[in-house]
Amino acid sequence: MFNQYFGNYLLEKKLIKPEELRMVLAEQKSDKVKLGVLAIDSGYMNAAQVNKIHRIQAAKDRKFGELAIEEGYLTENQLDELLNAQKKSNSLLGQILIDKGFFSLEKYEKVLAQYREDAQLTSDEIQALKNNDITEIAEIFLKTLSAQQDRIPREYFELFLRNIVRFIDDEIRMEPAVTVESYPFDYLVTQGIEGKYPFFSGFAASETVLTRFAAIYAEEELAELDALAKDSLGEFLNCHNGLFLSELAHKGIELDLQVAEVKAAGIVNPAGKLYIIPCHLSFGQIDFIFADAHPDFSETRASN
């Protein structure tokens, strides 16, 4: 997920054009990351040190890692860590930026350092994004929620994030959770939950985005938000909630699901707390919604 966050930062700072970002994101899945870029990304080496190893390699038929250890830039453990990361992951966005000539190693190092400062993320949080550590990533964007009272929303969102990545789109970028007084929506996929800990959840988006979401989950070609698309959306949320309620049941919390539905053109008016987490997918934005009580709804009128 780090690529999505770093890529968005580059767009915001106008360091790359949208079409260039789309190109490098499309290519990053198939390219193997080089150890030099991984070493810079991990903070073990700087650009000057990587360039020095490359110059030595031009004269000697030696592996990057071996030379980096000889020069005292890496330890054996650090090299093992980088090699494991190289095996597990696709190419970092930075690798393609460098290969395509958008960035030099020096510029990549400088921009990456500035991103870390501007993003106000700890080194552990950035590593969680690189490792796609869903548990830690969920915590990053739920910092605004109080720790004890909001344990269930945290666990619920973590599972929601896992299911989005598993079934819909692994190119997801979240924004921090916010509490709102009301929430207007175009379309809202929702389902109430009753019992010892009643709550309300769902996700909202435009018709185009939800149609694409439904098509991916149903593995069908869908051109509009018709009955089949709405059934697919409801099934996704119902399956997600079923999994979550099963986990709660193992903890002695028994809850019941209401019928999933797709609402159009309305406003959510919460009876208690209403949380929103914007989630940017590769095909558009959805807003994750969670309320600690079943809200009221009012209609919005379409403008002429």
Picking from 180, 184, 181, 179, the residue whose alpha carbon sits closest to that of residue 299 is 184
Q: Please indicate, yes or no, if residue 304 is contained in any of the structural domains.
A: no
Same domain, 158 and 64: no
Instruction: Kindly list the distances between the CA atom of residue 192 and the CA atoms of 41, 92, 196, 261, 296, in Å, as whole numbers in the listed order.
Output: 43, 40, 13, 9, 12
Which residues constitute the domain of residue 71?
A: 2-131
Domain total of the chain: 2
User: 125 and 153 in one domain?
Assistant: no
Boundary residue ending a domain (131, 154, 185): 131
pTM attached to this predicted model: 0.76
Q: pLDDT tens digits, the chain, 304 residues: what are they?
A: 888 899 999 999 999 999 998 888 877 766 667 889 899 988 999 999 999 999 998 777 788 999 999 999 999 999 999 988 876 654 578 888 998 899 999 999 999 889 989 988 888 888 888 878 888 888 888 877 665 456 788 889 999 998 998 899 988 999 989 999 999 999 999 998 888 887 889 999 999 999 999 999 998 999 999 999 999 999 999 999 998 998 888 888 888 898 999 999 999 999 888 999 999 999 999 999 998 888 899 987 554 4
Domain identity same for 60 and 158: no
Domain holding 181: CATH number?
3.40.1550.10
